[in-house]
């Protein structure tokens, strides 16, 4: 059995979508055609009997576009105001689109404190479990409206990996504006080679993650994605980094086709996870 073939049998999948994959580059407004495809893909996974969790960026970007703000906000209060406007709009669109495919979307907003505190983490775990048992599709984002530097994750790559750990997911898919992991930055080095499979995440690979992001709306570069792979691996979840330019890639990944970089999971390590939660 080819390694990728086993992705077909995954039962609980967390999919993370970056802001740049959800918005039009020219205007910063939502790409509704892509959103429609995303919702259809996730609904179909759900129809196959899989549990599906979506970690969606985009609240601040949507809020900015709604209010005609062209710059990326630097002031915390401005960011939070954009998030408050954008999160409501984004969720309304998700609810409407998922309803068209007979699915129920549920909003879950988290801060770093949710994960660091044992009691609130257990509470969040129980909430996810109940939602998935009910057949809902949780749509997760950082609670940017109240997050400050001390309690924010800062990027949804980390958040999605922690959600995968919290929900005992067996697959995490990160979709952004990159094809996967390369030996060097492919934008800068034409000789950079694509890495199809990572069986073990060593120090050398972790150091390759340059903390850059090619988009004006995203926050997570390759370093955050490799950190996410480390968390997912410790949680016993395989992880795929792939390009979110076309959301049809979701069913192709689940079918075991060769898209993105596949990071193989280790055995779930509860003590390592507990340390990660405490040291966020």
pLDDT tens profile 91-150:
999 999 999 999 999 999 998 889 988 999 999 999 999 999 999 999 999 888 887 765
Q: How far apart are CA 100 and CA 93, in angstroms?
A: 11
* Residues 197-228: tens digit of each pLDDT: 999 888 777 776 654 444 443 434 688 899 99
Where is pLDDT greater, at 277 or 9?
Answer: 9
Give the domain extent around 107. 3-278
Number of domains making up the chain: 1
pLDDT number for residue 216: 40
DSSP 182-239: ESS-TTT-TTPPEE-EESS--HHHHHH--S--S-SS----HHHHHHHHHHHHHTT-EE
Of the listed ranges 54-63, 88-97, 178-187, the least confidently predicted one is: 178-187
Q: Identify which of 34-38, 68-72, 140-144 has the greatest average pLDDT.
A: 34-38
CATH of the domain at 159: 3.40.1160.10
What is the model's pLDDT at position 211?
Answer: 47
Question: Across the strands, what pairs with 16?
Answer: 55, 174
Q: pTM value?
A: 0.92
User: C-alpha 234: how far from its chain's center?
Assistant: 17
**How large a percentage of the chain has pLDDT more than 70?**
94
- What local confidence, expressed as pLDDT, does residue 219 receive? 39
Q: What is the mean pLDDT of residues 15-26?
A: 91
């Amino acid at each position: 059995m080819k390694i990728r073939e086993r992705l077909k049998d995954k039962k609980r999948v967390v999919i993370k979508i970056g802001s740049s994959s959800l918005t039009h580059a020219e205007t910063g407004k939502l790409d509704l055609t892509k959103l429609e495809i995303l919702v259809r893909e996730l609904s179909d996974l759900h129809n196959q009997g899989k549990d599906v969790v979506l970690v969606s960026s985009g609240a601040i970007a949507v809020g900015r576009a709604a209010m005609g703000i062209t710059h990326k906000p630097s002031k915390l209060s401005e960011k939070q105001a954009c998030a408050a406007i954008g999160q409501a709009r984004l969720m309304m669109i998700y609810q409407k689109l998922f309803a068209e495919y007979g699915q129920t979307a549920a909003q879950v907003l988290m801060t770093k404190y949710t994960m660091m505190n044992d009691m609130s983490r257990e509470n969040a775990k129980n909430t996810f479990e109940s939602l998935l048992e009910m057949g809902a599709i949780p749509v997760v984002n950082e609670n940017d409206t109240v997050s400050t530097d001390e309690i924010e994750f800062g990027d949804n790559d980390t958040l999605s990996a922690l959600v995968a750990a919290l929900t005992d997911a067996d697959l995490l898919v990160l979709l952004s504006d990159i094809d996967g992991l390369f030996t060097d930055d492919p934008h800068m080095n034409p000789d950079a080679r694509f890495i199809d499979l990572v069986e073990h995440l060593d120090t050398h690979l972790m150091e390759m993650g340059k903390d850059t992001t090619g988009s004006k709306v995203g926050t997570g570069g390759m370093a955050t994605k490799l950190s996410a792979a480390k968390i997912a691996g410790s949680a016993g979840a395989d992880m795929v980094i792939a390009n979110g330019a076309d959301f049809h890639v979701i069913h192709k990944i689940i079918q075991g086709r060769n898209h993105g970089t596949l990071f193989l999971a280790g055995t779930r390590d509860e003590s390592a996870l507990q340390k990660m939660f405490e040291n966020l």
